Amino acid sequence: MTDQVFVRGLALHAYHGVMPHEAKVGQTFKLDLTLDIDLKPASRSDKLADTVGYDQVVDVASKSFCAKRYRLVEAAAGAVADAVLARFDKVSAVRVTIHKLHAPIAATFEDVGVTILRTRNG
């Protein structure tokens, strides 16, 4: 499938990380979500019921990402992907990228994070 709905740069404050100060102070993460979905029905009907609403995607992702503290962003990404697939039957796959903007690394870097892909059948 080549049709997609996406949300990029969703900024969320959470307490994920291995370091003690990450659990205490937290930090801002940015999430990118790409949902594979057949948009043919929506493109023909012009009805929201035939797609997924961006606001609903943001709500599901935000709640699942911030619901608990994860040591690894890999686990947080998995929780978001699972929540999206559970909530939206029309979505066949979801790609979640988490950018850890303030990773405790003794280096100058542009971006670090993880990307996971979860499919409904896998």
- Do 30 and 10 contact (CB within 8 A), yes or no? yes
**What are phi and psi for residue 34, nearest 5 degrees?**
-130, 120
Q: Is 63 known to be catalytic? A: no
How would you classify residue 5: left for phi > 0, otherwise alpha for psi between -120 and 50, otherwise beta? beta
- Do 33 and 96 contact (CB within 8 A), yes or no? yes
Q: From the candidates 63, 68, 90, 100, which is the catalytic residue?
A: 100
Torsion sign, CA atoms 54, 34, 3, 119: negative
Contacts of 116 (CB under 8 A, 6+ apart): 74, 77, 78, 81, 95, 96
Active-site residue list? 100
